Amino acid sequence: MTRKQKRLAIIAGGMSFILAAVLLVMFAFSQSVAYFYMPADLAKNPVPPGTRIRLGGLVGAGSVVRGAGSTVQFAVTDATGELVRVRYTGILPDLFREGQGVVTEGRFEAGSQVFTADTVLAKHDETYMPKEVADKLKAQGLWNEGGAVQ
């Protein structure tokens, strides 16, 4: 092999290595993506069972039901009046309560209309609401600039 051929072989090997690393990173990120939905979005376009999503909105008034152990069921709703029943087993955030903004992450199980959440994020102070939820509420005309839901 000449010096030119050796140099080309090293460059080709390096490029192959970089391409393989980029493809592996892209594959890893695609496996951890969770798309954001509100109840109205799910009513229009249901997601296939087992698909990991983020569900956001407001905790429905009078919907929190505590079950056995640390299991809690509640409804997430939005301005359209659509609601999605959520089941969560675990410790809820301290500021979780009815009428507050919430983002849950999980999936619908096959043959069930109940969203099984494995993560629940709640509003943590008087001015914070997750950006995705605030943007959707603004689009629906339910959010004022003072940070409160109308």
What confidence tens digit (pLDDT) does each residue in 39-91 have?
888 888 888 888 888 998 889 889 999 988 889 999 999 888 888 999 999 99
Looking at residue 32, what is its pLDDT?
A: 61
Contacts 24+ apart (CB under 8 A), 59-66: 59/96, 59/97, 59/98, 59/99, 59/100, 59/102, 60/98, 61/98, 61/99, 62/98, 63/98, 64/97, 64/98
What confidence tens digit (pLDDT) does each residue in 87-136 have?
999 998 888 888 888 999 999 888 888 999 999 988 655 556 677 777 87
Which of residues 93 and 149 earns the better pLDDT score? 93
CA distances from 140 to 96, 105, 149 (A): 23, 22, 11
